[in-house]
């Protein structure tokens, strides 16, 4: 039986016409009851919105920024934000449809995002920030080669554009992965 990762996927940059569908996808992956179908839910630590139309449109239109959109059978099923920041790229706004989580689609998307950032921008590292209490999510990223840096930034308490915190200990930690070009092994010709 094919998994979500095995089914034909189309990777493309988001357009203004995709914004509403992307907001719906991101919200469904992190907030509210629908997010509980998947494992990336933040419903127990944050209420309210994860993003909104204006924030997604800003990412779509920003220079040195891409909102990589993933479609399967004509439907948007995943996305991630890539931003070129000199020697590194920033990875964020990562969402996979809750119904498709746990089937390898996330691994496929992050690998493609890393490849595109490395090959398209020539960056040597990918950076991201993750809420420190999301130990399961951090462990998932560590299994993909990201390392914790110990560098933290405060959660934007009081700014409901990022959600309504249900705890007072939220902060972000910077995770970093070195992006190395795949090595090519040259074997001597034998007769």
pLDDT digits (tens, 9 = 90+) for 101-129: 999 999 999 999 999 999 999 999 999 99
Ramachandran class of 27: left when φ > 0, alpha when ψ lies in -120 to 50, beta otherwise:
alpha
pTM, 2 dp: 0.87
pLDDT given at position 54: 95
Written as six digits, the tokens of 120 are 């398209």
Percentage of the residues of the chain whose pLDDT score is greater than 70: 91
Quote the crossing angle between the two packed helices 53-61 and 19-30, to the nearest 10°.
120
pLDDT given at position 152: 97
Mean of the pLDDT values across residues 79-90? 97
Strand ranges, E, within 64-113: 65-72, 75-85, 88-96
Q: Among 120, 127, 171, which Cα is nearest to 146's?
A: 127
With cut-offs at 50, 70 and 90, classify the pLDDT of residue 57: very high
pLDDT given at position 31: 84
**pLDDT tens by residue, 14-46:** 999 999 999 999 999 988 787 788 777 888 898
- The answer, yes or no, to whether residue 53 has pLDDT greater than 90, is yes
Query: CA-based diameter of the chain, in Å?
Result: 71
pLDDT given at position 2: 42
Q: Which residue has the higher pLDDT, 114 or 163?
A: 114
Query: What is residue 121's three-state secondary structure?
Result: helix
Phi, psi of 7 (to 5 degrees): -70, 145
Mean pLDDT over each residue of the chain, to the nearest integer: 90
Q: What is the Cβ-side half-sphere exposure of residue 102, based on CA atoms within 13 angstroms?
A: 9
- The answer, yes or no, to whether residue 191 has pLDDT greater than 80, is no
């Amino acid at each position: 039986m094919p998994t979500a990762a095995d089914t034909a996927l189309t990777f493309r940059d988001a357009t203004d016409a995709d914004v509403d569908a992307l907001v719906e996808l991101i919200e469904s992956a992190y907030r509210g009851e629908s997010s509980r179908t998947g494992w990336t839910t933040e419903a127990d630590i944050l209420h309210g919105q994860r993003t909104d139309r204006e924030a997604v449109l800003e990412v779509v239109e920003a220079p040195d920024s891409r909102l990589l959109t993933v479609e399967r059978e004509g439907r948007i099923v995943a996305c991630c934000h890539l931003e070129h920041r000199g020697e590194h790229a920033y990875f964020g706004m990562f969402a996979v449809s809750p119904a498709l989580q746990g089937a390898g689609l996330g691994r496929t998307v992050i690998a493609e995002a890393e490849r595109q950032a490395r090959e398209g921008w020539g960056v040597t590292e990918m950076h991201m920030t993750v809420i420190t209490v999301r130990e399961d999510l951090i462990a998932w990223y560590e299994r993909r080669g990201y390392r914790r840096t110990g560098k933290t930034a405060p959660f934007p308490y009081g700014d409901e554009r990022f959600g309504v915190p249900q705890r007072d200990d939220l902060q972000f930690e910077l995770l970093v992965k070195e992006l190395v070009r795949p090595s090519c092994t040259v074997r001597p010709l034998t007769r």
